[in-house]
Structure formats: structure tokens, C-alpha cells
Amino acid sequence: MGKTRSLLIFTAITGAVSVIKLLGSLAVIYLTLGWKVRRARKALERELMKMGMSKEDARRLGAQYAALKDSTVNALKRSIFRFRS
């Protein structure tokens, strides 16, 4: 009885550690994605302005990067919440 109980506790602890690691990795991915998209957007806007595009138009096109990131993140969230239900 004691051996089975200690095995169950060990399994629960290792499972909890794995879930915490997974959530940490997802948080790092989310933050990194936001940072990379921001950098790419700014670089695109700078290059478009160098080529002669107006600042407003370059910002409007650059905003599509952020919109694409947001739609991707929302699709992932929907799939996770749909899976849980």
C-alpha cells in the first residue's frame, strides 16, 4: 500500500512539474513572438519609407503584421479552449 501511494505522489509531482515547464515555455514563446513581430514591423515601415512611401501608408501596412500575430494567437487560444471543453 505504501509503495503504491508513494508512486502515485511521485507521478503527480512529476506531472505538475511538466505542466509548469510547458506553461513557462508557452509564455516565453508568446513574449518572443510579440517582440519579433514588433521588430519586423518597425523594420518594414523603415524600409517602405526609404523607398518613398508616406509614413501613414507604411504604418498602415506595418499594422498588418500585428493583426496577423493577433489572429494567429487568437486561433491558438480558440483551439486550446475548444480542446478543453
Segment 32-48 mean pLDDT = 91
**What is the value of pTM for the model shown?**
0.63
SS (H, E, C) the chain: CHHHHHHHHHHHHHHHHHHHHHHHHHHHHHHHHHHHHHHHHHHHHHHHHHCCCCHHHHHHHHHHHHHHHHHHHHHHHHHHHHHHC
Distance of CA 78 to the CA centre of its chain: 13
Asked whether residue 56 carries a pLDDT value surpassing 90, the answer given is yes
pLDDT for 83 equals 65
Stretch among 45-49, 50-54, 72-76 having the lowest mean pLDDT: 72-76
